[in-house]
Amino acid sequence: MGNYQYTIWILILPFAAFLFTGILSGKLKPSFTAAISIGAIGIATVLSYFAAIQYFFLNASESYTAIEAASFTWYRLSDTLVIDMGILIDSISVMMLVVITTVSLMVHIYSTGYMKGDDGYARYFTFLSLFSFAMLGLVLATNLIQIYVFWELVGLSSYLLIGHYYQKPSAVAAAKKAFIVTRFADLGFLIGILMLSYYTGTFSFSEITDPNGPLITQTIGGVFLGLSTLTWAMILVFMGGAGKSAMFPFHIWLPDAMEGPTPISALIHAATMVVAGVFLVARMFTVYSLAAPEALEVIAFIGAFTSLFAALIAITQTDIKKILAYSTISQIGYMMMALGVSGYSGEAGLGFTASMFHLFTHAFFKALLFLGAGSIIHAVHSNEMKDMGNLRKHLPATHITFLIATLAISGIPPFSGFFSKDEILAAAYASNKLYFAVEYLVAGLTAFYMFRLYFKVFWGKERTYENIQESPASMTIPLWILAFGTLFAGFLPFSHLVTTDGIPFDTHFHWNIALPSVGIALAGIFIAAALYKKESARSQKIAASLGAFYSVTKEKFYVDEIYIFITKKIIFNLISMPVVWFDRHIVDGFMNLTGNTTVALSFRIRKFQSGNIHQYALVFLTGILIATLFYLFYYPN
Amino acid sequence: MIEDIPLSHILIVSTLIFFIGVYGFLTRKNMITMLISVELVLNAVNINFVAINRYLYPERLEGHFFALFVIGIAAAEAAVAIAIFINLYRNIRSIDVDEVTEMKY
Amino acid sequence: MLTYNLNILLLVPIMTLAGIVLVKDTRNARIVTAIGMSVQLLLVFVLLYMYMAERNAGNIDEVLFYQDFTWYESLNIRYSIGVDGIAVGLIVLTGIVVFAGVFASWLMKDLVKEFFFWLILLVTGVFGFFISLDLFIMFMFFELAVIPMYLLIGIWGTGPKEYSAMKLTLMLMGASAILLVGILGIYFNSAPDGGALTFNILEISKVNIPIDAQRFFFPMVFVGFGVISALFPFHTWSPDGHASAPTAVSMLHAGVLMKLGGYGVLKVAIYLLPDAASEMATFFLIFVTIGVIYGALSAVMQRDLKYINAYSSVSHVGLILFGLLMLTKTALNGAVLQMISHGLITALFFGLIGMIYGRTHTRMVSEMSGLLKVMPFLSVAYVIAGLASLGMPGLSGFVAELPIFVGAFSHPEPFYRVITVIAISSIVVAAVYILRVIAKMLMEKVKEEANNKLTDAKWYEKISVISLLLFIVAIGLVPFWLSEMIMTSLEPIIRRLN
């Protein structure tokens, strides 16, 4: 145990930085805004590392338990249903703290160089602070609503930062798309939350994920379409996670999100926000594993499918950021699959540990890849690989760090990616041979497309560049720091730190899996080297021989087109338009009809109101006479 | 004295006046003559009030009071009406009742 | 102990009316109005503070600051006033929206005196409505709030204003007629065990109106109040009316007047006719749910900013009725919060639309682009309003909609959960129509040459926008104080329902 009260400052500082720079925007000097943001996230980083050391290494007991470091009632929905805002310290949240603050700090520093001279420099840092706050709040959340609140806030900051270049139509469209797609997925998340809270009467993680709690030990809810309602609820929760983590079929927003500034892609769309879905599943893992195994199967399937699907698309892309985006989708698919095949407690929970481990290492090397890509784009002023070649001469620091990250993602020892990928493959092998085969193939594909990228950009033919030079120190120093992380993160004894039930276990090295996986990675690298190290026509020939398959992957399996068809053609044209027509012509038409009928009727009877006083008098007199005569002769006495 | 004249005579006179007034009101287009006709109608009623009061309930005064009220209100009404006529005349140079069609419908 | 005299909430508007009549210069009319409404806002906060102080001091009366005078002896109509937490919340809303509305129409040009006169008369009606506890007085103030709308839209509006004003007034009058029958029905059944008939809500809430009478009059009261809350299919006055109305009137109408309906449904239909409410809720929920999703889908296809926002209001105000008909404490609390939250958000929207329209002279989304560059303040405010409207946590929309959904979903009937899911899906559609406008209108490059020269908000517009924004954020960040105040006052209603 221990006192973790100070962790509240990890949240407060970025939020204060956001508020301060946001409200005074325009009045502060941009560099001062950046300094405040960096200062806030810097202190938060120190505190996070301190918390991590305290939690993992100064902890005397055998196992890691969840600690609520702080909590206050934010909102009371009814006498029993209360929403708290608090801080939950457990192994995954502490691990995420380290990942988020490290990458965020690196990105902050990097951005001072990358964004120099940009119109929205101050705005950019303000939103970075907002994002850091939201992401940290998300991982520290103690309950479902808190996680949903911060979940939406990271979505918002992602929207704002993708749309940073708001005068560029493609960036605006990408931001909108990212928001709406994830919003749609969040609908599932929200309904899932409502279902869970309906059955448990609480939002709190500590009660819901308690292995001895009523949700897990008792069967509650009915059965719907062959699955228990709890399973449906958990699948809906996963739907939210799938949206944020860009799992198929919600992956379409992530490649477009590359319209944002490259450091943003590194921070939000590679290292932190997109793994929120993985984090969510990990957070609820007890429930998935013990009470809704069918939902876990869905997760494993989606994860495995997405990793293969995205890897295939990544091979044919030409925009370096798009390649990295699809690679991110593929790697998150890995993590999801690992969670899906994991069991609960002890060595059976290897998949869980491996998934978190991969999340950890991936954050470093993928952030490094993106920042490296940013450095390249900064130098070349283009995203397209055809504008690049032989850059290792011009960008030595970027080249070395990029190579380290590429080796790590390809799973070459002793880089970090090797260790985490090995554990994932081992977990898959132990549980489901088919998934193992798929992931094994994807490992080879990953090595291939990453080295395709590497060779095309850093080797190959020299292009004509305009005053090309290595990026400033503010950008290369974060690269070196992340490269350092990429080199050594793999040596952390993760199974001693992050496990399903908090009890450490020992992993042994799986030679039977590691050797073939290195083998296929090397094979991928050699094929890539053969095809792309020297510019040649061989790759075009192969592409041509693949024919339709090549064009289908290049067009990303037409998923975007299917979405556009569904939204534009079906929802807009077949639902919204008729609704509008119905409203204008039937509902409103009926109202107008009543009005018009009254007007028409009164038009017909208005002649009685001639305005001729003589006529009125005559009618009046006649009436009087008739009344008098009636009175005189017929009125009964 | 007055008791020698039967009530019916007085009522015949007032009825005559009344219908003369009504006739005038219905046939004249000039607003002033119409107003005069209305005055005739009112006076016919006044005669009835006073006469019936005097003949049938000599000990009571309601009929007289009513007649006085009618006279007072008729005076006020005539004032208002003539004010309207004058304004009308200023505006449309006519006090013919058929000419006033501006606000019709 | 100092007590709060609620009559002052009527007195200040009436004095403002007198001031408007007396001043000669039109410029002074708006100053008088601004001062009057600033004082009113201040008094509203004093009320809020004193209400909370009184509650904290342990006063558990159903209504506070109660006053009662005989007004019409033989029919037992009494001028009885008092407030509970729900009324206080809505009075605060009204105070803010009116304050913002006055500043938003600072540049009103034609017939300024008359405009502010009718506007403040309407406001008087709204304040009177919220403080009255006598159905007859309540109805009277209700009409006082509705009728000036005809002139305000018909004279100072834009587009087909006569048509819109006529349609709005006729539909609301028609609803009032039904409502009046319903209120009289309650009155004539207010003493089933003999004794004097009464219009007083507090007294009627102590008796049980015969179930047959409840069944007969509940639909009348519900529909009567529902029309002004844009109950489907009687919502069509809303898009046309809002589109034609001048800025301040749109703000007040969508922001406050549409809430009169929700408040009436809660305090009259549900509170006084609880058995019928429980019985018939399912039936009306179908219409309300259709309205929620239908308004959202209609908003997607609109091109005119005001139409988008009007249909969005149909959807969001539909959620108020949706929450009310769920008849659970959580959902009712959410519904009342949604009244306040939507009032602020939609007033901000209409205010901003008016300000943007005043500059670009068009409300067509397709005819504007890149405004963020030209008018950053208004654009950022528009984005925040949009985010609040689509339920972004940290802003008021989220804390209002969440309890509605949680409360609705916790209903034991599966049917209720199904319609809740349908209603929730409207928040995705909301994201579509709001982000579409933001993307088209505020972002990208300025395509229209003339728009490059436009100016950002003036001081009076900033006052208007900031006063609304402040509360949207405050409620969103710390919903506790408001929801606790409302929750306590929902107790008697919940007790009646069980």
Do A297 and A356 contact (CB within 8 A), yes or no? no
Query: Between helices A169-200 and C414-424, what is the axis angle to 10°?
Result: 160
Cβ–Cβ of A176/C436 closer than 8 Å? yes
Distance CA(C220)–CA(C208), nearest Å, equals: 18
Distance CA(C97)–CA(A323), nearest Å, equals: 51
- B105 found inside a domain: no
Distance CA(A239)–CA(A277), nearest Å, equals: 9
Backbone φ and ψ of A204, nearest 5°: -70, 135
Residue type, C263: Y
Question: How far from each other are the two terminal CA atoms of chain C, in whole angstroms?
Answer: 36
Residues of A with CB under 8 A from a CB of B: 606, 609, 611-614, 617-618, 621
Distance from CA of A198 to the nearest CA of C (A): 6
Residue type, A208: I
Tell me A471's DSSP state.
P
Distance CA(A205)–CA(C131), nearest Å, equals: 43
Q: Is the peptide bond before A249 cis (omega within 30 degrees of 0)?
A: yes
Angstrom CA distances, A149 to A128, A505, C408, stand at: 18, 34, 20
Distance from CA of A221 to the nearest CA of C (A): 11
Backbone φ and ψ of C61, nearest 5°: -60, 155
Q: pTM, whole model, 2 decimals? A: 0.87
C424: nearest CB among A173, A190, A579: A190
Q: Which domain holds residue B87?
A: 2-99
Could you tell me which of C260, C216, C258 has the C-alpha nearest to residue C241? C258
- B77 found inside a domain: yes
A77: nearest CB among C171, C237, C403: C403
Residue A24 at interface with chain C, using a CB cutoff of 8 Å: no
Residue of C nearest to A173 (CA): C439
Tell me A266's DSSP state.
H
Stretch B22-41: mean pLDDT, rounded? 91
Which chains have 3 or more CB–CB distances shorter than 8 Å to chain C? A
The encoded tokens of residue A77 equal 């929905």
Apex A256 CA angle, A254 and A257, nearest 5: 60
Cβ–Cβ of C410/A197 closer than 8 Å? yes
Residue A195 at interface with chain C, using a CB cutoff of 8 Å: yes
Residue carrying the six token digits 């003036």: C458
Q: Give pLDDT, residue C385.
A: 92
Backbone φ and ψ of A311, nearest 5°: -65, -40
A621: nearest CB among B22, B27, B105: B22
Distance CA(A93)–CA(A139), nearest Å, equals: 5
- B24 found inside a domain: yes
Are 3 or more Cβ–Cβ pairs between C and A shorter than 8 Å?
Answer: yes
Distance from CA of A287 to the nearest CA of C (A): 21
CATH number of the domain where residue B54 is located: 1.10.287.3510
Q: Give pLDDT, residue B105.
A: 56
The encoded tokens of residue A440 equal 């094994």
Do C395 and C385 contact (CB within 8 A), yes or no? no
Cβ–Cβ of B105/A621 closer than 8 Å? no
Alpha-carbon dihedral sign for residues C86, C87, C88, C93? positive
pLDDT digits (tens, 9 = 90+) for A561-618: 777 777 777 777 777 788 888 888 888 888 888 888 988 898 888 777 777 788 888 8
Tell me A494's DSSP state.
G
Q: Give pLDDT, residue C92.
A: 92
Query: Between helices A473-488 and A416-431, what is the axis angle to 10°?
Result: 40
- Does residue A411 surpass a pLDDT of 80? yes
A149: nearest CB among C393, C420, C444: C393
Cβ–Cβ of C480/A183 closer than 8 Å? no
Q: Is C341 helix (H, G, I), strand (E, B) or coil?
A: helix
pLDDT digits (tens, 9 = 90+) for A454-506: 888 888 777 777 777 778 888 888 889 988 888 888 888 877 788 777 777 77
Cβ–Cβ of C431/A168 closer than 8 Å? no
Question: How far from each other are the two terminal CA atoms of chain B, in whole angstroms?
Answer: 56
Cβ–Cβ of A76/C445 closer than 8 Å? no
Could you tell me which of C259, C249, C361 has the C-alpha nearest to residue C305? C361
% of chain A exceeding 90 in pLDDT = 17
Q: Is the peptide bond before A414 cis (omega within 30 degrees of 0)?
A: yes
Distance from CA of C109 to the nearest CA of A (A): 32
* Residue ranges of C 231-260 with Cβ closer than 8 A to chain A: 232-237
Do A318 and A257 contact (CB within 8 A), yes or no? no
Residue of C nearest to A119 (CA): C373
Tally of structural domains, chain B: 1
Cβ–Cβ of A167/C387 closer than 8 Å? no
Distance CA(C332)–CA(C135), nearest Å, equals: 21
H/E segment holding residue B46 = helix B31-56
Q: Give pLDDT, residue C97.
A: 92
B104: nearest CB among A611, A614, A618: A611
Do C30 and C106 contact (CB within 8 A), yes or no? yes
Angstrom CA distances, C12 to A140, C121, C479, stand at: 50, 11, 29
Distance CA(A191)–CA(A221), nearest Å, equals: 15
Do B73 and B67 contact (CB within 8 A), yes or no? no
Show residues of chain A in contact with B101, CB under 8 Å: 611
pLDDT digits (tens, 9 = 90+) for C445-462: 887 777 777 788 788 888
- Give me the total of CB pairs closer than 8 Å, taking one residue from chain A and one from chain C: 127
Could you tell me which of A439, A377, A421 has the C-alpha nearest to residue A402? A377
Residue B55 at interface with chain A, using a CB cutoff of 8 Å: no
Could you tell me which of A459, A177, A448 has the C-alpha nearest to residue A316? A448
- B87 found inside a domain: yes
A163: nearest CB among C298, C398, C443: C443
Mean pLDDT of chain A: 85
Residue B22 at interface with chain A, using a CB cutoff of 8 Å: yes
Residue type, A581: W
- B104 found inside a domain: no
Q: Give pLDDT, residue C130.
A: 92
Distance CA(A105)–CA(C378), nearest Å, equals: 32
Could you tell me which of A104, A112, A102, A121 has the C-alpha nearest to residue A21? A121
Q: Give pLDDT, residue C232.
A: 82
Show residues of chain C in contact with A197, CB under 8 Å: 406, 409-410
Distance CA(C319)–CA(C316), nearest Å, equals: 5
Cβ–Cβ of A609/B105 closer than 8 Å? yes
Q: Give pLDDT, residue C2.
A: 67
Q: Give pLDDT, residue A60.
A: 62
Do A207 and A213 contact (CB within 8 A), yes or no? yes
A618: nearest CB among B26, B97, B101: B26
Q: Which residues of chain C have pLDDT under 50?
A: none
Residue A396 at interface with chain C, using a CB cutoff of 8 Å: no
- B26 found inside a domain: yes
Backbone φ and ψ of B67, nearest 5°: -60, -45
Q: Is B60 helix (H, G, I), strand (E, B) or coil?
A: coil
Do A178 and A257 contact (CB within 8 A), yes or no? yes
Distance CA(A95)–CA(C443), nearest Å, equals: 38
% of chain A exceeding 70 in pLDDT = 97
Alpha-carbon dihedral sign for residues A185, A186, A190, A193? positive
Show residues of chain A in contact with B44, CB under 8 Å: none
Residue of A nearest to B18 (CA): A621
- B47 found inside a domain: yes
Residue type, A330: S
Q: Is A251 helix (H, G, I), strand (E, B) or coil?
A: coil
Residue A174 at interface with chain C, using a CB cutoff of 8 Å: no
Cβ–Cβ of A198/C302 closer than 8 Å? no
Q: Is the peptide bond before C233 cis (omega within 30 degrees of 0)?
A: yes
Across A42-149, where does the E strand assignment appear? 67-76, 82-89
Alpha helices in C205-273 (DSSP H): 211-228, 237-244, 247-252, 258-264, 271-272
What does the radius of gyration of chain B's CA atoms come to, in whole angstroms?
Answer: 17
Distance CA(B100)–CA(A611), nearest Å, equals: 9
Cβ–Cβ of C394/A153 closer than 8 Å? yes
Stretch A61-80: mean pLDDT, rounded? 81
The encoded tokens of residue A616 equal 């009125």
The encoded tokens of residue A552 equal 């289908």
